[in-house]
Structure formats: structure tokens, C-alpha cells
């Protein structure tokens, strides 16, 4: 809806930026850190691993000084669980504890609100080896113990917490849960068991946060792409409803409403993937709701009907990374109305406005955008300067969509871009860059890891300084 006037961003809006430990820290085997599933992941040799990353572990002071110079109000980062508990449980590693104390203190001294993700893909390999990790109920207790330790140790200074990053993506990627893929159907079944255990664990972590952290606020950080029906054919509309239930709502419905939405439940039962629900599980979710919804937004998807037939029977999941199409449910098709990044992610800021309204309507909780950004290949000039106009264009349009959603009543806590400096991409190594700050390294050549400000750094600084007045 258009309005004659536009509401400004509130004064306490958290202008932020994000990273994740395994993608930025490096020092993968330093100071007592244990292995996570990301460390032992078998990598495509053409892209870099996480050993050095952006070397934030050794550059954190410099990086936070740059955040201060940019005027960031918030820095969202994750704790690498295995720096604190190298095996996932048991002995605490004090050097890991100290590192995050230093990062938090540096943020606070710089006037930056820390927002901590407790679990961003880096599941302890030790727990996988001890009992199969998320596939076992013991994972619930170990996660809650780890979170409780973090709340007690850092909760005097950290008031914003995120339970699990992109749970949907973890569920569908066996390597992120720590098991070897067998058949897609078996993988999916395990993924939904892990999903259930994660939801129970998150509920008890929320409880612990509320009990331990004075004034603490905690929520999930889901991935929530906008989905549209490809056409006005009723079949596409129905497929869109299915994709929203099966891919977008199911985690949040468990987190916020304490229930399996009916379509998701029927889907799991019909495909023989329904996990066992123990007494008290759903009650724990229902009574320990998040305080806000954190979500990552990058792109939208166009959804078409995909009726099952002899050639494509129900359950014929062919796509291994993420089941992007499933006979009898839906498929994802190219949206000819949108342009895309070099990696095919369709750029759609209006989708962010739609998602914001959908989430706020359905869950009635304030929103925090935990990731939003533009990945690109970049060539700097001789001073390390990058003219990343595409990134500025992407971000200013997406922030405008936040402003428009806010203008019609959606409540936001803040906006965290992905990512503050260049870090290792989740799937595409160091050649896919997202930062406001360039890190001087290539895929396999570490160079000097020097930091240099890109054009977008100055643009974000100006945006924060005028509290988004320049976003029109
Ligand atoms: C999200 C993850 C991030 C980050 C981002 C960009 O899914 O939470 O960790 O990687 O996507 O993805 P990529 O790095 O693959 O471009």
C-alpha cells in the first residue's frame, strides 16, 4: 500500500552487520578449539576450507574498530561451540571463553550491541562421534548446557541471543548434522528427527535465557525466502501454500506455536518421516516462546505445481542439497521478472517486504533481520578499493522495503547486513564476497589478509548516521 507520508526508522533501530564464526574466525585448531562438522566437511578442492577464513580470530580488534568507524549499532556473530566445549560437552576450554569475552568487551567499549548466534552450522564433531549428535535425545541436554554456560558467562553484557541459524538448511544437509548421506529419503527422515530435537532444545534454551539473562531476548534465525505462485493457475496457488507450509513455516510454527502445522504433519506421516514426539516436547515449545523472530533474507522463489505421475512418483526426491522440488508438492521455477546474482539467487526486495508482513501477521512478534546481502566476485583497484555499487543498490532497496513494511505497522528491532567483512561463503569459498570491508586474500592464496573499506562501507556509514533518511 502507498501512503502519503512515510514513517522514519525509530531512534533505537539496530543498524547492524553479521558474520558466523566458522566463516570469519579461522584459527580452526588454535587455543584448544575442537572440531565442528564444518571443520571435517569434505570440501570441493577448488574452494578454500575454513582453516584461516578472514582470520578474524587474530584481527577482531581491527575489525571491531572498523565497525565502530562505520557507526554500527549492532554486531551479530556466532560463538563456535567447540571453542567453549571442544568435545561439545564436558571440559570447558578457558581460552575459547576468553576470546568471546574479548570480542564482547570490545563491542561494548565501541558502543556496539552484541547479538550472539549460539549455533550457526558448527555442530561439535565430538557429539556426532559420542552418540550421533542431533539424531539422539542426548543432544538436547548438551545444547541446553552449552547455552546455559553462555548465558551465565556472557549474559551480564549480551542481551540479544539467537538459538539456531537456518534450521531448515541444517535439516536438509546431512554434512551439517554430521552423518553421511545414504538415500535422500533416509537423509530427510533423519533431518526431520534432528529438526524435532533442535526445536525441543531451542525451547529449553529460551527458558534458560529467560531465567538467567536479566532483560535477555532470544529468538531463532530462520531462512525465510519469499515464495510466490508462478501463475494465477489455481494449481500453482495450491503448490505455493504447500511450499510455504513445508519449507517456510514449519520450524517457526514449532518454535512459536509449539505445533507441527497440519500440512507438514500429514506430509511427514504420509512419507514415513514423522519423528517420535516425547511427552512434554510440544508443551516445552508452547510455553517457551521466542521474544522475536530473526530471519535471513536473500531472495525469492517462484513456485509451480508438480503433480506426481509414473515417472515422478511421490517421494522421488532427486535434489540432494535442498529438496527444491518434490513430485506431489511443488517445484521451483525461474522468475522471469527478476534478475539474479552470479549464483542464480533471484534479487527481490519486494519479497522482503512481503515476508516481513507475513511473519508479523502470523507470529505477532517483532522482527530482526539477521542476514541480508549481495554476494559478488570483485576486483579491487591498487589500493584495495572496490566500487561495489551493485551491493549498495541491493541493500538500499532491501532497506527501503523494511521501511515500507514498518510504515504499515510491522515492528522491527533492526537490520543486520551479511556480512561486515568478506568471509568464506557457505558454499562458494572466498570468491563470493559480501562485505563492506575487503579482506585481501584469494581462494588459495592468503596474501596479507589486509582490510580495506569498499564504497559500500561509506554508504552504510552515511545510512546509519542519518538513521536511514537517505533510503528513499
Ligand atoms: C546463509 C548462512 C550464512 C551465509 C549466507 C550466504 O544461508 O546463514 O552462513 O553463508 O547464507 O550464503 P553463501 O555464503 O552460500 O552465499
215, with CB counted inside 10 A (0-12, 13-18, 19+), is exposed
What is the predicted pLDDT for the residue at 427? 86
**Nearest atom, ligand 1, residue 345 CA:** 16
The best mutation among 425, 427, 428, 434 to test binding of ligand 1, ranked by most ligand atoms within 8 Å of the C-beta, falls on 425
Is pLDDT of 19 > 60? yes
Q: Is 181 helix (H, G, I), strand (E, B) or coil?
A: coil
Task: Please identify every residue annotated as catalytic.
Answer: 166, 371
| 107 within 8 A of 114, measured Cβ to Cβ | yes
251, with CB counted inside 10 A (0-12, 13-18, 19+), is buried
What pLDDT band is residue 448 in, cutting at 50, 70 and 90? very high
Per residue in 327-369, pLDDT (tens digit) is: 899 999 999 999 999 999 999 999 999 999 999 999 999 999 9
Between 422 and 321, where is the model more confident? 422
Please tell me whether the overall predicted TM-score, pTM, comes out greater than 0.95 for this model: yes
Is pLDDT of 462 > 70? yes
pLDDT over 70, % of the chain:
99
Q: How far apart are the CA of 1 and the centre of ligand 1, in A?
A: 31
Orientation angle between helical segments 138-154 and 94-109, nearest 10 degrees: 50
Ligand 1: lining residues by beta carbon, under 6 Å: 20, 23, 165-166, 169, 223, 296, 371, 375, 418, 425-428, 432
Q: How far apart are the CA of 375 and the centre of ligand 1, in A?
A: 9
Preceding omega of 419 cis (within 30 degrees of 0): yes
- Between the alpha carbon of residue 63 and those of residues 59, 132, 336, 386, the distances in Å are 6, 36, 39, 18
Per residue in 61-82, pLDDT (tens digit) is: 999 999 999 999 999 999 999 9
Per residue in 81-127, pLDDT (tens digit) is: 999 999 999 999 999 999 999 999 999 999 999 999 999 999 999 99
| 411 within 8 A of 369, measured Cβ to Cβ | no
Q: How far apart are the CA of 166 and the centre of ligand 1, in A?
A: 9
Amino acid at each position: 500500500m502507498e501512503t502519503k507520508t512515510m514513517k522514519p526508522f525509530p531512534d533505537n533501530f539496530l543498524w547492524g552487520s553479521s558474520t558466523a564464526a566458522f566463516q570469519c574466525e579461522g584459527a580452526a585448531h588454535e587455543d584448544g578449539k575442537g572440531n565442528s562438522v564444518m571443520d571435517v566437511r569434505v570440501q570441493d578442492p577448488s574452494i578454500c576450507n575454513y582453516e584461516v577464513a578472514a582470520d578474524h580470530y587474530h584481527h577482531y580488534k581491527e575489525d571491531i574498530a572498523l565497525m565502530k568507524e562505520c557507526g554500527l549499532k549492532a554486531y551479530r556473530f556466532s560463538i563456535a561451540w567447540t571453542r567453549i566445549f571442544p568435545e561439545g560437552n564436558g571440559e570447558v576450554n578457558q581460552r575459547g571463553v576468553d576470546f568471546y569475552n574479548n570480542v564482547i568487551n570490545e563491542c561494548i567499549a565501541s558502543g556496539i550491541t552484541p547479538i550472539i548466534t549460539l549455533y550457526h552450522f558448527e555442530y561439535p564433531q565430538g557429539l556426532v562421534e559420542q552418540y550421533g549428535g542431533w539424531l539422539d535425545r542426548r543432544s538436547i541436554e548438551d545444547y541446553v548446557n552449552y547455552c546455559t554456560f553462555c548465558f551465565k558467562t556472557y549474559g551480564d553484557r549480551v542481551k540479544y541471543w539467537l538459538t539456531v541459524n537456518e534450521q531448515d538448511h541444517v535439516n536438509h544437509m546431512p554434512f551439517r548434522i554430521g552423518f553421511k548421506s545414504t538415500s535422500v529419503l533416509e537423509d530427510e527422515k533423519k533431518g526431520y528427527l534432528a529438526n524435532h530435537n533442535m526445536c525441543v532444545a531451542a525451547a529449553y534454551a529460551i527458558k534458560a535465557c529467560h531465567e538467567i539473562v536479566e532483560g535477555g531476548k532470544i529468538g531463532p534465525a530462520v531462512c525465510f525466502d519469499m515464495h510466490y505462485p508462478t501463475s494465477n493457475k489455481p494449481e500453482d496457488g495450491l503448490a505455493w501454500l504447500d511450499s510455504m507450509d513445508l519449507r517456510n513455516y514449519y520450524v517457526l510454527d514449532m518454535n512459536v506455536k509449539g505445533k507441527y502445522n497440519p500440512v507438514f504433519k500429514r506430509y511427514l506421516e504420509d512419507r514415513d518421516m514423522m519423528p517420535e514426539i516425547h511427552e512434554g516436547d510440544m508443551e516445552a515449545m508452547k510455553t517457551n516462546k521466542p521474544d522475536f523472530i530473526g530471519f535471513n533474507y536473500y531472495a525469492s522463489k517462484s513456485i509451480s505445481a508438480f503433480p506426481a505421475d509414473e515417472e515422478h512418483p511421490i517421494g522421488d526426491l532427486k535434489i540432494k542439497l535442498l529438496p527444491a522440488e518434490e513430485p506431489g508438492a511443488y517445484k521451483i521455477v525461474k522468475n522471469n521478472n527478476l534478475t539474479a546474482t552470479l549464483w542464480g539467487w533471484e534479487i527481490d526486495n519486494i519479497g522482503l517486504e512481503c515476508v516481513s508482513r507475513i511473519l508479523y501477521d502470523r507470529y505477532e512478534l517483532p522482527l530482526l533481520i539477521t542476514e541480508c546481502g549481495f554476494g559478488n566476485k570483485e576486483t579491487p583497484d591498487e589500493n584495495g578499493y572496490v566500487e561495489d555499487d551493485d551491493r549498495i543498490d541491493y541493500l538500499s532497496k532491501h532497506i527501503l522495503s523494511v521501511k515500507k513494511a514498518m510504515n504499515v505497522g510491522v515492528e522491527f528491532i533492526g537490520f543486520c547486513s551479511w556480512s561486515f567483512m568478506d568471509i568464506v561463503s557457505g558454499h562458494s569459498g572466498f570468491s563470493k564476497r559480501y562485505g563492506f570491508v575487503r579482506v585481501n586474500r584469494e581462494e588459495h592464496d592468503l596474501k596479507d589478509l589486509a582490510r580495506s573499506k569498499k564504497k559500500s562501507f561509506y554508504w552504510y556509514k552515511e545510512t546509519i548516521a542519518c538513521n536511514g533518511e537517505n533510503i528513499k
